[in-house]
Amino acid sequence: MMLILCIFTICIKEVTMRTLNANWFIEVPIDFEHKQYQLLAYLQQINAHFNKTRLYPNLNDLIFHYNNLKKFKQDKTTLEAGFPVRLSSIDMAAVKITYEKIVNDDTMMQEIGQIISYAASKIKPAIKEGQEIHDFVESHLVISEVGMRPLYPNNGYLLLRNGDEKGIRVYEYQVTLFESQHEKYRGIHTTYLTKYERHFIYNTPEAIRKDLIHTRRELPNPAVYQVESDITFPVENTLLPLAKKTLVKTISALN
């Protein structure tokens, strides 16, 4: 069983792009050439984002679709359950007829199998490229604690320094622990507060921490962490999500 160490919420403003529905490969028309065109158009957009080091939500989206294809291929009961869900807006009698027609149509099922195999072979290398970008960015991040650590570091401020940019972005963060029967998950939520321009008064993380304590009395002794990169990356799509992931790992190691 895959052990998930943490989860983190990524809220990203994206330009409009062509996306794939969860059941795109079994939606009509079930035609290999049509699905091939649909997939390649989607991957072309993903590649354009990766070329600009825009990692999220694209990488998560790719992983979701790849795992979905594998699950449908390996688990026939999941595949069967997918048809009535997909057609839930139609009269149930019509749903049953349509579902049985598709499942019992050997030619159609072979077409779906071909679509799944082709799509998986194209999505897998795209995921690898995304993971390489992820690892590259992560290798350029350094996290440091600013000031004294409070007893409970799950609430505080994240300072984000992005390469050659002059300012330091400040986010308030909250880390939450979720527990299931077998695993524990940590989620993180951040709220953008302000940006400190580099100035002789606020030229150090310690000075920014002091000002935050003075101006935001609700956290009199906050945990403050700075994540900095020596290369400038897209903030919303790449730097912030990985900074949040790095922060969750750091706080998890304290407990």
pLDDT for the residue 54: 97
- Residue 209, in any domain of the structure: yes
pLDDT for the residue 7: 38
> Strand locations in 66-196, DSSP E?
141-146, 155-162, 168-179, 184-196
pLDDT for the residue 247: 97
Same domain for 42 and 30, yes or no, is: yes
| Residue after which a domain boundary falls, among 107, 138, 169 | 138
Same domain for 44 and 130, yes or no, is: yes
> Do 24 and 118 meet the contact criterion of CB atoms below 8 Å apart?
no
| Residue after which a domain boundary falls, among 86, 121, 138 | 138
pLDDT for the residue 96: 55
pLDDT for the residue 245: 96
Q: In a 3-state reduction of DSSP, which class is residue 159? A: strand
Q: Which residues, at least 6 apart from 156, have a Cβ–Cβ distance to it below 8 Å? A: 150, 172, 173, 219, 222, 223, 224, 225
147 exposure class (CB count in 10 Å sphere: 0-12, 13-18, 19+): middle
Same domain for 164 and 216, yes or no, is: yes
pLDDT for the residue 80: 55
| Tokens found for residue 200 | 């002789």
Same domain for 177 and 79, yes or no, is: no
Per-residue pLDDT of the chain (255 residues; tens, 9 = 90+): 333 333 343 443 443 456 898 889 988 888 999 999 999 999 999 999 999 999 999 999 999 999 999 888 776 555 555 554 444 444 455 545 555 556 566 678 888 889 999 999 999 999 999 999 999 999 999 999 999 999 889 999 999 999 999 899 999 999 998 776 667 778 999 999 999 987 767 779 999 999 999 999 999 999 999 999 999 999 999 999 999 999 999 999 887
pTM more than 0.95: no
d(CA 93, CA 86): 14
Same domain for 106 and 211, yes or no, is: no
Same domain for 97 and 194, yes or no, is: no
> Strand locations in 116-167, DSSP E?
141-146, 155-162
d(CA 116, CA 73): 7
pLDDT for the residue 2: 33
- Residue 12, in any domain of the structure: no
| Tokens found for residue 141 | 């991040």
pLDDT for the residue 131: 98
